[in-house]
Structure 1
Amino acid sequence: MNDQTLSRRNLMKLAGGAAVTAALSTQAAKAKRGVKKGRINQSIVHWCWGERGWEIEDTAKAAKELGCKSVELIAPEHWPVLKKHGLTCAIAPNGVEGAPFIRGLNNPLYHEMVIKATKETITECAKFGVKNVIAFNGFKWRKAEDPKSGEISLEEGAKNCVRGLKKIIGYAEKKGVNICIEHLNTRDDSHPMKGHPGYQGDKVDYVAEIIRAVGSPNMKMLFDIYHVQIMDGDVIRRIEENKDIIGHIHTAGNPGRKELDDTQEINYPPIMRKLLDIGYKGHVGQEFIPTGDPMKGLVEAVELCDV
């Protein structure tokens, strides 16, 4: 990395921020866009737009402008920015450094680190009124980054997850915070954030069994519609089957983890109506990777899910 690279990156960020401001001004000048009905609590997952040069301040402004209630998966030091804009963080990261879904609770080698980081995040959640923190199974290899190190069986991985989660869940209950474990697809290997080959926890039923084995009302599932569509399908039936343990929702278009437009296959309005039918009161986080105008895609997704 050199000064020229840094300058270029900074310029991209400045350009991204300016584009957000311009887009918001343009939108404001038109008829109000975004949430109108407000029966679905919507949230923006910042990292997707951070990839396009948006700062957290930019994402917060967009969320407020569009009637979203949250910007999520950002660290506690950024939560005051959300508070300034009247927003919350619907779900917190677990505080694990690096890609948090690689070294997870399925592997005792990482229990001490993951448990410590998650408890520290739960403490911050309680201070700021954040209701959920994310959790992950982790990769299936005994040394998470090394596929040659041998595999942890599904049965062993599940037992390890339950054991690890039980060491955290009592503290979460005490602090009034939910732990939401996320299933991820292992089929898409085209991009490190479109799929996660090696992840142990790619099936909804498998993750649901772990949640139920922990046996706490504060143990929940992060139900990612995009990942479910790839690995399981039958999204609405899966929602019905797991309605008692769903604590958070993510969206994205499939294939490609792209915008929720008419080039992808998931029919979002009936899925949102199903969430209303089951009495879901949590948030729906928009977590797609914009391929075009990031503000335009966000407006369209928010409006599509506003049933």
Structure 2
Amino acid sequence: MSLPPSRRVALKNLLAGTAVVGTAGVASTFLPVAQPDEQPALKGNINHSACRWCYQDIPLEQFCAAAKSIGLKGIDLVGPKEWPTLKKYGLDSSMCNGAELNLTDGFNDPKFHAALQKNYADMIPRVAQAGYKNLICFSGSRRGLSDEAGWANCVKGLAPLVKLAAQHKVVLVMELLNSKIDHKDYQCDRTAWGATLAKRLGSEHFKLLYDIYHMQIDEGDVIRNLTEFHPYISHYHTGGVPGRHEIDESQELYYPAIMRAIRATGFTGYVAQEFIPAQPDKLASLRKAVQLCDV
């Protein structure tokens, strides 16, 4: 069976278009997927979203309609060309993209600062004008840099943009990615590393995207870390470990406990599903994941 496209390839395509434990004791938690007419009402404690790239073979109009029926409030990783469709369905662009170069050439390398600063200076006002808040960014690959050099370079590249973001009430959000399996050599690969950068920038307009899948791979101890560093986290992504598939009994994380821990921090942002569905009915998998995370 052919493997699904990687996120790296999917994000590249999007950019082009936008210029746990499985035991009998917990098995009852993973209930059969309810159909739209019998789906339990969501509790309203979690703002649910999903990443567009995981469902890119579903036309956007169809995906937006399904998202509304499931109870999503937003869709992640969508650029300006697709914003009108989201607005048509009353959905937030919960994590905007389109200003980044890619996942490897980021703010930790000064040779990319000029291009990145131009892209983000153009995109920040567009995000604000559309009524959105979050715009993703990346550290880039380490390429032999020390932690200190990476922090210093990121601060230099991001500081003027964070100031601009504050003027427009936009938040630049750097994603934490694992450097062990999926994004070899990525520098912002630990929660503490990202939190140190956030402290140095010293602004509520720079935060972290805590990807639960990625951080389980690189550091584990998910609940302790998100609890300790929650002041610097403004967004979450999900994904089953191993494999980044459904967040069900087939993987090692127990998402209801993770969601309760997120709620306990007072979090009011978005939790976006970012798993690659392995089941034939991708939307049924998404519906089930949202119900599982709706604590």
> 1:47 corresponds to which residue?
53
The answer as to whether partners of 1:75 and 1:92 remain within 8 angstroms in 2 is yes
> 1:137 corresponds to which residue?
139
The answer as to whether partners of 2:100 and 2:138 remain within 8 angstroms in 1 is no
The answer as to whether partners of 1:133 and 1:177 remain within 8 angstroms in 2 is yes
Alignment length (residue pairs): 261
Which fold has the larger relative contact order, with Cα–Cα distance below 8 Å and residues 6 or more apart in sequence?
Answer: 2
The answer as to whether partners of 1:44 and 1:59 remain within 8 angstroms in 2 is no
Deviations 1:110-155 (A, max 9, x none): 01111211222211111111111111000122xxxxxxxxx22222
What is the rounded CA distance, in whole Å, between the counterparts of 2:174 and 2:219 in structure 1? 17
The answer as to whether partners of 1:185 and 1:196 remain within 8 angstroms in 2 is yes
Q: Is the aligned partner of 1:203 residue 2:203? A: no
What is the rounded CA distance, in whole Å, between the counterparts of 2:123 and 2:71 in structure 1? 27
The answer as to whether partners of 2:135 and 2:172 remain within 8 angstroms in 1 is yes
Q: Is the aligned partner of 1:110 residue 2:103? A: no
Deviations 1:195-231 (A, max 9, x none): 1012111111111101110011111110111111111
Deviations 1:54-85 (A, max 9, x none): 12222211210101100111111211111110
Deviating above 3 A after TM superposition, structure 1's stretches of 4 or more consecutive aligned residues are: none
Paired letter, 1:32: Q
What is the rounded CA distance, in whole Å, between the counterparts of 1:103 and 1:286 in structure 2? 25
The answer as to whether partners of 1:92 and 1:121 remain within 8 angstroms in 2 is no
- Please, which runs of 5 or more residues in structure 1 have no aligned partner? 1-25, 142-150, 189-194
- The residue matched to 1:73 in structure 2 has which SS? strand
What is the rounded CA distance, in whole Å, between the counterparts of 2:257 and 2:86 in structure 1? 30
Deviations 1:142-189 (A, max 9, x none): xxxxxxxxx22222111101111102000000000011111100111x
Paired letter, 1:153: S
Identity score, percent: 39
> 1:239 corresponds to which residue?
226
The answer as to whether partners of 2:212 and 2:239 remain within 8 angstroms in 1 is yes
In the TM superposition, 1:139-178 aligns within 5 A as 139-141=141-143, 151-178=144-171
What is the rounded CA distance, in whole Å, between the counterparts of 1:253 and 1:220 in structure 2? 24
The answer as to whether partners of 2:100 and 2:137 remain within 8 angstroms in 1 is no
TM-score by length of 2: 0.85
What is the rounded CA distance, in whole Å, between the counterparts of 2:106 and 2:214 in structure 1? 18
In the TM superposition, 1:213-232 aligns within 5 A as 213-232=200-219
What is the rounded CA distance, in whole Å, between the counterparts of 2:190 and 2:98 in structure 1? 21
What is the rounded CA distance, in whole Å, between the counterparts of 2:171 and 2:119 in structure 1? 15
- The residue matched to 1:244 in structure 2 has which SS? helix
The answer as to whether partners of 1:107 and 1:138 remain within 8 angstroms in 2 is yes
- The residue matched to 2:200 in structure 1 has which SS? helix
The answer as to whether partners of 1:59 and 1:71 remain within 8 angstroms in 2 is no
Paired letter, 2:183: H
> 1:306 corresponds to which residue?
294
TM-score by length of 1: 0.82
How far did 1:94 drift?
A: 4.2
> 2:174 corresponds to which residue?
181
Paired letter, 1:134: I
Q: Is the aligned partner of 1:297 residue 2:285? A: yes
Structure 1 stretch displaced more, 53-62 or 170-179: 53-62
How far did 1:27 drift?
A: 3.2
